[in-house]
Structure 1
Amino acid sequence: MSRHLPRFANLAAIVLSFWLVVGAALAQTTAEPPDYEEWGRIAERAEQVVERGQASEDALEQLRAQIAQWRDRFLAAQSQNATRIQTLENQLEALGPPPEEGAEEPPEIAERRAELRARLESLRAPVRNAEEAFTRANGLIDEIDEIIRTRQVDELLSHGPSPLVPANWATALREASHAARSLETEVQTAIGTPSRVAEARDRLPVIVLLLAAGALLLLRGHRWVNNLGDLMRRRTRRGTGVWSLLISVGHIALPFAGLSAIVWAAALSGLAGPRLSQLLTFLPVAFALLLGYRWLGQRLYSPLDAEAVIPLEGGTRREARNYSTLLAGLLVVQLVIGAFVDLASLSQATEAVLQFPVTVLLGLVLFRMGVILSRFRGVELAENAFVNRVTRFMGRLSILVAVLAPLLAAVGYLNASLLIRPWVVTLAIAGLVLILQRLVRDVDQLLTGRETAGEGLLPVLIGMALTIAALPFFALVWGARTAELTEIWARFREGFVVGETRISPTDFLVLVVVFAAGYAATRALQNGLRNSVLPRTRLDKGAQTALVSGTGYVGIFLAALIAISATGLDLSSLAIVAGALSVGIGFGLQNIVSNFVAGIILLIERPVSEGDWIEVGGQMGIVRKISVRSTRIETFDRTDVIVPNGDFVSGVVTNWTRGNTIGRVIVPVGVAYGTDTRKVERILREVAEDHPLVLMDPPPSVFFRGFGADSLDFEIRAILRDVNWVLNVHSDMNHAIARRFAEEGVEIPFAQRDVWLRNPETLFPDRSTPPKAAAAAPEAAPPPRAPDPYLDRPETDAESDGDGR
């Protein structure tokens, strides 16, 4: 039965054995050095087995597992005496370089150098033996894996009898009938044996109890689960997705427990016969597959939009749910046929005939399912785009597999046609991953109280981890051996070599933990400085920011050095990397480095501080944050502008509030010709002196700037105690000037222009009287209206933006 039951039918046992092997590999210690003589005998025997190539697959797997255990011991032995070897190397380095040829050194140093070298070679000998043995074990494992993979490929591509040949039908009918009669005879023999009947009679109370419990769970389990679900929905309104999923799992667990109880009762009776008992033990697995696929269909294509993981359109959801259950049923039939063929030792022709109609039906259902998935569009959101594309892609692949499998079965490639089963299981695993990712988002929503599920970063990271964790299961389904997965883990544990140092995953874990601890300590120190220590000093805000930032960079640098040293990595081996990095900085990263250095200069010299009103590169605003690479400026339009720090060092920067907030306001004013200029000067001075933000030391000044085209031009210049309010002061003075001019009768002029036409007759070619005569006596022009000092004043560019500027 093991030949035809796919690997996913025994998935739990395979995964368990995988972790047992991993645990055994991790449990290897270096308490005792390897016995190289025993290893030599095992290696020679393994080489002979590999050369012959006649051992069974099970024997090869056992031999490979034994060699893998030795290899783990050799890997652990390679780090033997590592600390002592490093100490001796440092001692030799402390003695200085050996003398050149023909040169001599003091006898004491030469003797000490020879002694250290001898001790170093004696300590390195076991390490070299372990490295040689590790290499030999690796080679043997690769050869065994190659033999097993070749056999698997040959078996997959083997050509057998075609189910379309009529002569095979009679053979299949005859062999299947004979096998069924044999099972019936076994049952009759068991029932007719008095000892077995007596044994079943003794176990009758337990058997009846199991049958009753199984029947009760099968008949009433669904109702119990539904009642529990209604109770949970009434008690809480949050986390409905979580409760719905847990309730749906109950629809699988209770019926499965009921059927398992019935099968257990049949096995306890002992009246089924040996071969029928083996089929009965497979029955719970088949029933679990049927329930599992039905559950997946209910969760993936739920009729409720809020619960559907793949929200198909219209009636295709019900169709997809039905096809999911039908796929599981056909899959179970295929597995039962394979188990029946193995138990009865039927021929390959009989198996091909029995499996062919099921394969055709499975292909038809899978084809329709693939069409539904390939047409799926879903909600085209950013977070759903990838899932939608993958769903459509898997639908197209399903169509391809559904067409190929029956064709391969028809021409006699039975083993290749049975690959339709792992593809169906692949769809199930992918659907299960989507359901678990949805569960993570629902749990996050339940715990955090967010309105929309999956808004945080943690659900996304857990979803990625679930996808990565599913990769070994995909590999097992498609025929990967447990030994191959453990080999990947062994290669990972082996690590890689940097210089003369081997970096293993354990070293990497130490690196991450030490750096994380140093990073956390640095952040804690920064928070202490920022919140407790620096506020009690006389340093301004810019100096405090510079000190906190500098502490952070120094702490992170020290944490990285300590973490690298903790792994045993020689820092001198990083010289090549540092050289390459310096070249990259010199060419590709020069702007980033320039801004970084400029940021350090800004934090140290502090020509610009947070809260200053500055103008740089045509941008004017308030400095909100100075970082190492750039500075954030908030403009008066409430927009953030990110300015590289290099512009502050290489460009011109105007700081309106550096050191203090005193600044000057300039208000231009124009009056009509003929106005008393001294009167205007007096009014303007009084307006300036009356404003509360204008300083009297130095006093405001009023200047008669000149004779303009339309007005006499004056200007107020005053010093303000807070230049941040310059636009408000400008506006207040304009209002005051307009009011005082209206009270004093001072006219604010507006521009006037006279237009004279050189040849006006060209405008009236049809008139007999030249318009010049009319032009000689022009009509009296209407008297000009008195200008309104409020309506006719020209607009000024000093407008308040709501921020007092």
Structure 2
Amino acid sequence: MIGAMLRRLLLVLVLGAALAQSVPALAQDAPTADDYTTFDTTALQIDDLVAKAQIDDERLTAMRAEMVKWRTTFSTAQASNADQITTVKNQIAALGPLPADGQTEDAMIAKRRGELTEALAKLQAPVLAATEAATRADSTIAAIDKLIRERHADKLLRLSPSALNPVNWPTAVSMFRWMGQWIYDETRWRFTRPMNVDQLRDNAPLIVVLLLAAVVLLARGGAWMRRLTYWLLTKTHMRGRNLISGIVSLGQVVLPFAGAVMLYLAMERASLFGPIILSLFETLPAVVLVIFLTRWLAHHIFPLDPDEESAIGLGTEGRAEGRLQAVLLGISVALYDLVAAWIVPRASNFLGGAATNIGADRAQQVAQATDAAISVIVVPLQIFAALALFRLGRILRRESAKARSGGEGAFRFELIYWVSSAAIAISVIAPVLGVIGYVSAANALIWPAINTLSLFAMVVVLQGFFAELYVTIARNPDARKDGLLPVIAGLVFTCAALPLLALIWGARVVDLADLWTSFRTGVSLGGVRISPTSFIILVAVFGIGYAATKLVQGGLKASILPRTSLDQGGRNAIVSGVGYAGIFLSALLAITAAGIDLSGFALVASALSVGIGFGLQTIVSNFVSGIILLVERPVSEGDWIEVGTTSGIVKAISVRSTRIQTFDRSDVIVPNSDLITGRVTNWTRFNLSGRVIVPVSVPFTTNSRRVEAVLREIVEAQPLAILNPPPVIALMGFGAEVMNFEIRMIIRDINFQVAVRSEINHQIAERFQAEGILFSNAHRDYLKRIADEAAAEAEKKAEEQAAQEAVAMFMAPAPHPLAAPDDENLDDAGAIDAKPLKSGSVKSSPVQKPKDPRA
């Protein structure tokens, strides 16, 4: 099917060239009365044949192509007299509106109006006739397309004899037997002709050379190119070796294909084979191309070298099996191409015995036998291809499922996952349909699915080649992942592959041609026709205007504005204003040059204006506020401003918002409307000088005059402080046990307020310490420290006195036992016995004094 796809691509290119050449010719000659008569006769005949539905698809296609030519002619004629019609309409409009009922018009004006109206009718007559004929041609083409689609649908849903039925097997065997018999008889007859033998003798040297070259290229051409590619990748270190090796690797496809072509030429030169066998050799190059191209793509998707990256980013697991299944798919597609291009067109001849005049019954039998034989041949190919497609789909799905969870390339792996899942589903459904008997439906599923995977791989490989080319030119290995051009190239390749994808899934070349014609004609949107030509003009004019605007902005910013007395904010405002005006004028000129009439959008715009106004009122408010900021310039870039709780430096002013960089290096995006309607403090807009207030608190015990004098000396010594007006040292009031002073001074640059405040505080601390001046709560800390020290000293003295008394008591002599105790001791000793006893208590024994050891 890849060979068929390439043939269809060639048809598309040829058709495009034919259309490109035919359009100017059609535009030169306007249809005449004879042309309209011929068209009417042809259209009637075609309508009659289409209504009977008794003609084949080939003749239907030819009739459709003829009607397409007529439609193109009439469509071109619809634009005739356009300038004259516009001129006459403007002249009629210049005469003013028609008079109302009951009113008369000047005779000269009425006469002129009648003449212009008659002239307009004559000018519009060919246009109306061409429009009517083009409409009729469209209806005839639509009827032909409907009939062809119905036939294709019937063919897809047709139930053929099942390949599982053993009754149908002898029919296929009989077809191959008749085919072999025909080839044998044809070749034997050729060999018996002396003229053919003489021609073989004359062309023998050329035939031998072609055969030897064909055998060598088919057998060893691919291997030689693989070795050369491997040598370029591993044995050389030249720049761009990946790109060169990729191009050289195409030899793995080109050389075997050239060998197949040489084999066909050798067989043709031999003059010993008939049309049947020659047609087989003629199909051989396409078969070889399909097999080797699939093999080449498989080696890029599943590389041999584990260190080589896959074209779609797959891992190293399952590469060998992936290559094998891809090659098996290529072989199955090549075999089906061979069956479709060589066996199917001749199957009825083989089974019918090449009879030219047979009865209806015999023809029906031959058709049934042909259908059965084709089913027996094709269904095994479908099953074989389905098995390879199923295994390849599982490999792709497993590898993509591992990498689609996130990160770089997640979308690509997600796409591969769903494509492989669809391939698995088709590989199950298609052979089931084929075995049941829906062979055409199975063919419409299995082979387009395989060709879609091949097309997908081709697009990926081409994008990889372009990325290698970009890396080689940019001399930056990281450009493959970071560059924008490879991504754009991939998008271009994908868009270019869409027509091929449509052809793969059953679209016709004429359908693509009609789509291209409609695309060139344009689409009507809101009463305005937008065509590719107008779109290209629109983009080109806007691009030129935008580039000119950038050049003017660059010239203003680099050469003109620096020589003026404007500050940086004013320069930025002028540059931004020129940019907005340039973009607006570029868009206006582009729309005018493209011929787009925006009056058709007036009703739509008016209907949507209310809703858009409510929905976008905040954005519009910010946009207008941005323009006001650029014009009035209350805030400019580089200003230090405060908006609400945000304070920082203005870094950029756009049409919607303003970016402020705070002093902790974070960016805050503020809507422009907040800067216009809210309260904004601009510290540096018109003057860099600003006031700094430093509060100082001292206790009541401090001499206030002395504090004022010290603070004044400190402030007047600051280099950034302005002495006119002089700094103010104010006693602001009294607090809880403190006096509150404030230093109020104006410095030359408010941007240094933090540094000035810090330096003043350092000097205050140094001078107060030197002068013995305490701060607001320092006296409380001092008194508390004195009290704590006195308490600690008293406790220490009490402990020392107690220790001295204890030592004195221990060193004193004991009293004599016969000595009479003093009254105080007696009172203490007899105090125990003197106490009354409670009920149930134990009576204490008298205190026994210890004996004197000297007694």
Structure-1 separation of matches of 2:388 and 2:21:
44
Which residue does 1:139 correspond to in 2? Answer: 139
Structure-1 separation of matches of 2:344 and 2:778:
109
Correspondent of 2:438 among 376, 391, 413: 413
Of 388-397 and 301-310, more deviation after overlay is shown by 301-310
Correspondent of 2:418 among 393, 396, 407: 393
TM-score (norm: length of structure 1): 0.89
Question: 8 Å contact 2:78–2:128 — kept in the other structure?
Answer: yes
Which residue does 1:431 correspond to in 2? Answer: 457
Structure-2 separation of matches of 1:228 and 1:609:
61
Structure-2 separation of matches of 1:751 and 1:28:
105
Counterpart residue identity of residue 329, structure 1: I
Structure-to-structure mapping, 1:124-273, within 5 angstroms? 124-218=124-218, 219-220=220-221, 222-223=223-224, 226-227=227-228, 230-231=231-232, 236=237, 238-239=239-240, 241-273=242-274
Question: 8 Å contact 2:79–2:127 — kept in the other structure?
Answer: yes
Structure-2 separation of matches of 1:549 and 1:93:
43
Which residue does 2:396 correspond to in 1? Answer: 373
Structure-2 separation of matches of 1:529 and 1:5:
58
Structure 2 counterpart SS, 1:184: helix
Structure-to-structure mapping, 1:519-538, within 5 angstroms? 519-538=546-565
Question: 8 Å contact 2:732–2:741 — kept in the other structure?
Answer: yes
Deviation at 1:452, TM superposition (A): 5.0
Structure-2 separation of matches of 1:166 and 1:366:
27
Question: 8 Å contact 2:625–2:673 — kept in the other structure?
Answer: yes
Question: 8 Å contact 1:78–1:127 — kept in the other structure?
Answer: yes
Correspondent of 1:445 among 442, 453, 471: 471
Which residue does 1:335 correspond to in 2? Answer: 337
Which residue does 1:792 correspond to in 2? Answer: none
1:687 aligns with 2:688: no
Counterpart residue identity of residue 698, structure 2: V
Counterpart residue identity of residue 682, structure 1: A
Structure-to-structure mapping, 1:350-369, within 5 angstroms? 350-369=373-392
Structure-2 separation of matches of 1:661 and 1:582:
46
Which residue does 1:593 correspond to in 2? Answer: 620
Question: 8 Å contact 1:28–1:76 — kept in the other structure?
Answer: no
1:297 aligns with 2:322: no
Which residue does 2:680 correspond to in 1? Answer: 653
Deviation at 1:712, TM superposition (A): 3.1
Distance 1:501 1:592, change over 3 A: closer
Structure 1 counterpart SS, 2:652: strand
Structure 1 stretches lacking a partner, 5+ long: 755-776, 785-805
Structure 2 counterpart SS, 1:568: coil
Deviation at 1:662, TM superposition (A): 0.3
Of 463-472 and 611-620, more deviation after overlay is shown by 463-472
Which residue does 1:767 correspond to in 2? Answer: none
Structure-2 separation of matches of 1:416 and 1:6:
20
Structure-1 separation of matches of 2:129 and 2:149:
30
Distance 1:507 1:120, change over 3 A: farther
Aligned structure 1 segments of 4 or more residues deviating by more than 6 angstroms: 751-754
Correspondent of 1:738 among 740, 759, 765: 765
Question: 8 Å contact 1:157–1:416 — kept in the other structure?
Answer: yes
Of 129-138 and 698-707, more deviation after overlay is shown by 698-707
Distance 1:305 1:15, change over 3 A: farther
Which residue does 1:106 correspond to in 2? Answer: 106
Which residue does 1:23 correspond to in 2? Answer: 20
Question: 8 Å contact 2:233–2:242 — kept in the other structure?
Answer: no
Deviation at 1:348, TM superposition (A): 1.8
Distance 1:409 1:716, change over 3 A: same
Which residue does 1:57 correspond to in 2? Answer: 57
Which residue does 1:77 correspond to in 2? Answer: 77
Structure 2 counterpart SS, 1:30: helix
Residues 439-467 of structure 1 deviation map (CA, whole Å, 9 limit, x = unaligned): 33333333332525132333222222222
Distance 1:581 1:167, change over 3 A: closer
Question: 8 Å contact 1:190–1:273 — kept in the other structure?
Answer: yes
Counterpart residue identity of residue 43, structure 2: A
Deviation at 1:142, TM superposition (A): 0.7
Distance 1:497 1:112, change over 3 A: farther
Distance 1:617 1:671, change over 3 A: closer
Residues 733-782 of structure 1 deviation map (CA, whole Å, 9 limit, x = unaligned): 1122222222223233547989xxxxxxxxxxxxxxxxxxxxxx999534
Deviation at 1:659, TM superposition (A): 0.7
Question: 8 Å contact 1:312–1:378 — kept in the other structure?
Answer: no
Correspondent of 2:30 among 29, 33, 44: 33
Residues 398-424 of structure 1 deviation map (CA, whole Å, 9 limit, x = unaligned): 222112222222222222222311211
Deviation at 1:577, TM superposition (A): 3.4
Structure-1 separation of matches of 2:442 and 2:564:
79
Deviation at 1:289, TM superposition (A): 0.6
Let me know the Cα RMSD of the aligned residues.
2.6
Structure-1 separation of matches of 2:793 and 2:314:
81
Which residue does 2:585 correspond to in 1? Answer: 558
Question: 8 Å contact 2:739–2:776 — kept in the other structure?
Answer: no
Structure 2 stretches lacking a partner, 5+ long: 352-369, 782-786, 795-855
Counterpart residue identity of residue 541, structure 1: Q
Structure-2 separation of matches of 1:505 and 1:342:
42
Distance 1:438 1:751, change over 3 A: farther
Structure-2 separation of matches of 1:564 and 1:89:
23
Structure-to-structure mapping, 1:682-721, within 5 angstroms? 682-709=709-736, 711-721=738-748
Structure-1 separation of matches of 2:306 and 2:631:
62
Distance 1:244 1:778, change over 3 A: closer
Correspondent of 2:327 among 325, 328, 333: 325
Larger Rg: 2
Identify the structure with the greater helix proportion. 2
1:518 aligns with 2:545: yes
Question: 8 Å contact 2:229–2:245 — kept in the other structure?
Answer: no
Structure-2 separation of matches of 1:49 and 1:493:
31
Which residue does 1:771 correspond to in 2? Answer: none
Residues 369-424 of structure 1 deviation map (CA, whole Å, 9 limit, x = unaligned): 22222223253455512221121112222222112222222222222222311211
Deviation at 1:98, TM superposition (A): 1.6
Structure-1 separation of matches of 2:310 and 2:514:
39
Structure-1 separation of matches of 2:637 and 2:54:
80
Structure-2 separation of matches of 1:216 and 1:147:
50
Distance 1:480 1:24, change over 3 A: farther
1:403 aligns with 2:400: no
Counterpart residue identity of residue 535, structure 1: P
Of 51-60 and 410-419, more deviation after overlay is shown by 410-419
Structure 1 counterpart SS, 2:482: coil
Structure-2 separation of matches of 1:781 and 1:78:
117
Deviation at 1:669, TM superposition (A): 2.0
Deviation at 1:279, TM superposition (A): 0.7
Question: 8 Å contact 1:630–1:645 — kept in the other structure?
Answer: yes
Structure-1 separation of matches of 2:674 and 2:779:
46
Question: 8 Å contact 1:693–1:721 — kept in the other structure?
Answer: yes
Structure 2 counterpart SS, 1:638: coil
Deviation at 1:335, TM superposition (A): 2.6
Deviation at 1:21, TM superposition (A): 4.5
Structure-2 separation of matches of 1:14 and 1:264:
24
Deviation at 1:576, TM superposition (A): 1.5
Question: 8 Å contact 1:710–1:751 — kept in the other structure?
Answer: no
Structure-2 separation of matches of 1:482 and 1:467:
19
Which residue does 1:790 correspond to in 2? Answer: none
Question: 8 Å contact 1:632–1:643 — kept in the other structure?
Answer: yes
